[in-house]
Structure 1
Amino acid sequence: MPSPAAQSPRQAGDAEAVAHQAETTIEVGESESDTGYESESASSASTSVSSSVRDYTFENGRRYHKYSEGRYLFPNDEPEQEREDMKHAMVLNLCGGRLHYSPLDNPQNVLDIGTGTGIWAIDFGDEYPSASVVGVDLSPIQPSWVPQNVKFMVDDAESPWIYPVNHFDFIHLRHLASSLKDTPGLISQAMANLKPGGWIEMQELYFVLSSDDNSIPETHAFSKWLTLVRQGLESFGVDLLGPAKSQERLKDAGFENVTERIFKVPIGTWPKNQTLAKVGLYGQAMCVDGLQGNSMKSFTKGLGWTAEEVEVFLVDVRDSLKDRKVHSYLTFRVCYGQKPVGTS
């Protein structure tokens, strides 16, 4: 799995300044190759919760969660865990190393919804050692060795919450657009369980392909794939375009000081800015490595395709993702808001 080298805080900050302005054009670099980018392997995680929820199901050669079976349509096996950790690194590079944008003041109780491998929760626990961090996910794939102030639970965040009301200082959600069926309901539960003055932050990729130089051809296979996967997920009640509504949804739920930041995530190493080129390498690998796992259930069960038809189609999609003549990007949307201080 390709992985960019580390960069200095100044480089990361420069990339953030370039990327977070949605109207800013990303300059295209001159190189037609990916020379200079090394590859490394990521370690896989082992579970840290009871064996009663460790059962899995298998389909088309991939492993899926068993708890609340069918709620999450994508694999949870080691290749997917590595991809999730890679996405975390991509976001850190994109955002200058920041784990959040909410203006937190000594948070003590923190909830990470859809924690996945737990990598964000662990990093947050390290950065805020006085905080108690709870990571929640449908899959028990988190590591055993974690900071003492971090713990993990297996639960469905769209079921009624068991946490005390007015309890959390910060609730964090990331990469959940492809699985949530009732985002307003989840936001409502977050409002009830946040302390007055607490913050919620939603960080999501927005899966619409764009370019600043009109270099995406009408026949672009990855662009077609995005349309099809959105249609497939719609049959399961999932709106992949939901992140565009985050700001409105937080305001409708009663949150104040709602702010949205939009970053460009290049697909490939075409940007002239070297840090954005590294982000683009992550973005490209994120898409290529996730094609098979992200396609199977949405295409076969949602659109009626056969597994063989999916695999044949993905050949062209992979090729389109590696075309350096196409200067495409997705966007990463960070939206956060505060529970009014005078509420209960």
Structure 2
Amino acid sequence: MAAQPGSSPRSQSSFGSPGIAASPQDVADAAAQARTEIEAHEDFSDAESGYNSDDNGSMTTSVSSSVRDYNFENGRRYHKFCEGRYIFPNDEQEQDREDMKHAMTVAVCGDKLHLAPIGSDPSRVLDLGTGTGIWAVDMGDTYPSAEIVGVDLSPIQPSFVPPNVRFLVDDIESEWVYSAPFDLIHLRAMAPAVKDWPKVLASALHWLTPNGYIEIQELDFVPKTDDNSIPPDWAYLKYTAAVRDGLKEFGSDFHIGGKVPEKLRAAGFKNITTHEIKVPIGPWAKNQLLRTAGLYMQAAVIDAFNMGLNGPITKGLGWSREEAEVLCAEARKAVRNPKVHAYYTMWVVYGQK
């Protein structure tokens, strides 16, 4: 049994939904409905699509309207399955932004997909919130003998993937059901998506092999500077504060990065290792690698203004569209100012079971 690939021929970010955040009961009902539909479509099979069940088929949703449908608002497309779980879109524009962020993250991590020392021959790897699926696909190429599983709310990953890579459609805050544990569980840029971190981390701890690793990569979206070049009235600083406050209304912590080490310790992980990496916003760095990463980061930031306007600011804070557009216009201009040497901090944290 397998779900067929999404309509887009390329990879694409998952998540995203306008409107009011779903209640826990709404999410549970949607997950139960999806699992019921799995059982009704057990005869479907399409191994080349990359969508396969985890042996017993209990995790992957089937080809059904509840999973395949999308919401559309203000010219953007949002996920339908577990509607309201995540307020950002999953359309072509967001795919491009996610792929830029992937390239930036790999670059600042020294051209590495992960920093956890999992060895050269992992058996199973789980990517939570796989989005475009690009990290999972790259891991499949890097570790051809490993089984790579990507999980997301939307079946919008590539149709053709390495034979050792497959994608499941599910809500990671629901019960996990897999056939075997994993050597590495990976999460990246999940701050706007995860509401119940203790629950997700408890599930991860349970589904890791003994001494297996969890790795979390998160940007802390607080612009900083080492040369005092950020003016007190910098519009982009005002914008990030508004987005942070708006996301709180949806139950999301925009600044989870620096809190990850303590959350892993509280969940029971050991040997926790933390890396703090500066990611420039714009091409101001002298180092060529950081300059390139800064260009990616700046492009991703600019492309995200529309999402901030349509989600956290207008829906979360209740601003009028006109007020939000004025702030976004000012922030867009501010983030292009080459005299401001701002950066984000990326937290790469891993721990062991």
In structure 2, what is the equivalent of residue 158 of structure 1? 173
In structure 2, what is the equivalent of residue 330 of structure 1? 344
- CA distance in 2 between counterparts of 1:331 and 1:301 reads 27
Secondary structure of the structure 1 residue equivalent to 2:317:
coil
**Residue of 114, 119, 127 corresponding to 1:112:** 127
In structure 2, what is the equivalent of residue 180 of structure 1? 194
Identity %: 55
Please tell me whether residue 45 in structure 1 is matched to residue 60 in structure 2: no
- CA distance in 2 between counterparts of 1:74 and 1:308 reads 20
Secondary structure of the structure 1 residue equivalent to 2:156:
coil
Q: 289-298 or 230-239, which moves further after superposition?
A: 289-298
Q: 43-52 or 169-178, which moves further after superposition?
A: 43-52
Q: Over residues 306-328 of structure 1, what are the superposed CA-to-partner deviations in whole Å (9 max), with x where a residue is unaligned?
A: 23322222110100010011000
- CA distance in 1 between counterparts of 2:160 and 2:183 reads 25
CA drift of 1:244 comes to 1.1
Contact kept, 8 Å, 1:44 with 1:82, in 2: the verdict is: no
Secondary structure of the structure 2 residue equivalent to 1:301:
helix
Please tell me whether residue 167 in structure 1 is matched to residue 181 in structure 2: yes
- CA distance in 2 between counterparts of 1:322 and 1:241 reads 23
CA drift of 1:302 comes to 0.8
Secondary structure of the structure 2 residue equivalent to 1:207:
strand
**Residue of 294, 307, 312 corresponding to 2:326:** 312
Measured at CA, do residues 199 and 56 of structure 1 come closer, stay the same or move farther in structure 2, by a change above 3 Å?
same
Contact kept, 8 Å, 2:76 with 2:89, in 1: the verdict is: yes
Secondary structure of the structure 2 residue equivalent to 1:302:
helix
- Which amino acid in 1 is paired with 2:85? R
- CA distance in 1 between counterparts of 2:259 and 2:217 reads 12
- Which amino acid in 2 is paired with 1:107? P
The structure, 1 or 2, with the larger RCO (C-alpha pairs under 8 Å, 6+ apart) is: 1
- Which amino acid in 2 is paired with 1:180? V
- Which amino acid in 1 is paired with 2:142? E
In structure 1, what is the equivalent of residue 305 of structure 2? 291
Q: Over residues 207-263 of structure 1, what are the superposed CA-to-partner deviations in whole Å (9 max), with x where a residue is unaligned?
A: 111000011011111111111111001111111112211101111111111000010
**Residue of 203, 217, 241 corresponding to 2:217:** 203
Contact kept, 8 Å, 1:48 with 1:140, in 2: the verdict is: no
Secondary structure of the structure 2 residue equivalent to 1:120:
helix
Contact kept, 8 Å, 2:50 with 2:161, in 1: the verdict is: no
Please tell me whether residue 80 in structure 1 is matched to residue 46 in structure 2: no
Contact kept, 8 Å, 1:114 with 1:173, in 2: the verdict is: yes
CA drift of 1:95 comes to 1.2
- Which amino acid in 1 is paired with 2:130? T
CA drift of 1:159 comes to 1.1
- CA distance in 2 between counterparts of 1:195 and 1:294 reads 38
In structure 2, what is the equivalent of residue 239 of structure 1? 253
- CA distance in 1 between counterparts of 2:259 and 2:307 reads 26
Q: Over residues 8-43 of structure 1, what are the superposed CA-to-partner deviations in whole Å (9 max), with x where a residue is unaligned?
A: xxxxxxxxxxxxxxxxxxxxxxxxxxxxxxxxxxx8
Secondary structure of the structure 2 residue equivalent to 1:222:
helix
In structure 2, what is the equivalent of residue 6 of structure 1? none
In structure 1, what is the equivalent of residue 282 of structure 2? 268
Which stretches in structure 1 are left out of the alignment for 5+ residues?
A: 1-42, 340-344
Q: 329-338 or 292-301, which moves further after superposition?
A: 292-301
In structure 1, what is the equivalent of residue 160 of structure 2? 145
CA RMSD of aligned residues (A): 1.4
- CA distance in 2 between counterparts of 1:275 and 1:236 reads 35
**Residue of 46, 55, 75 corresponding to 2:69:** 55
CA drift of 1:196 comes to 0.9
What are the within-5 Å matches in structure 2 for residues 14-25 of structure 1? none
Contact kept, 8 Å, 2:278 with 2:346, in 1: the verdict is: yes
CA drift of 1:48 comes to 5.9
CA drift of 1:108 comes to 0.6
- CA distance in 1 between counterparts of 2:300 and 2:211 reads 35
In structure 2, what is the equivalent of residue 129 of structure 1? 144
- CA distance in 1 between counterparts of 2:321 and 2:209 reads 47
Runs of 4+ more than 3 Å apart:
46-51
- Which amino acid in 2 is paired with 1:93? A
Q: How many residues align?
A: 296
Please tell me whether residue 214 in structure 1 is matched to residue 228 in structure 2: yes
In structure 2, what is the equivalent of residue 21 of structure 1? none
Secondary structure of the structure 1 residue equivalent to 2:316:
coil
What are the within-5 Å matches in structure 2 for residues 243-258 of structure 1? 243-258=257-272
- Which amino acid in 2 is paired with 1:236? F
- Which amino acid in 1 is paired with 2:325? E
- CA distance in 2 between counterparts of 1:140 and 1:217 reads 43
- CA distance in 2 between counterparts of 1:280 and 1:333 reads 16
- CA distance in 2 between counterparts of 1:111 and 1:294 reads 29
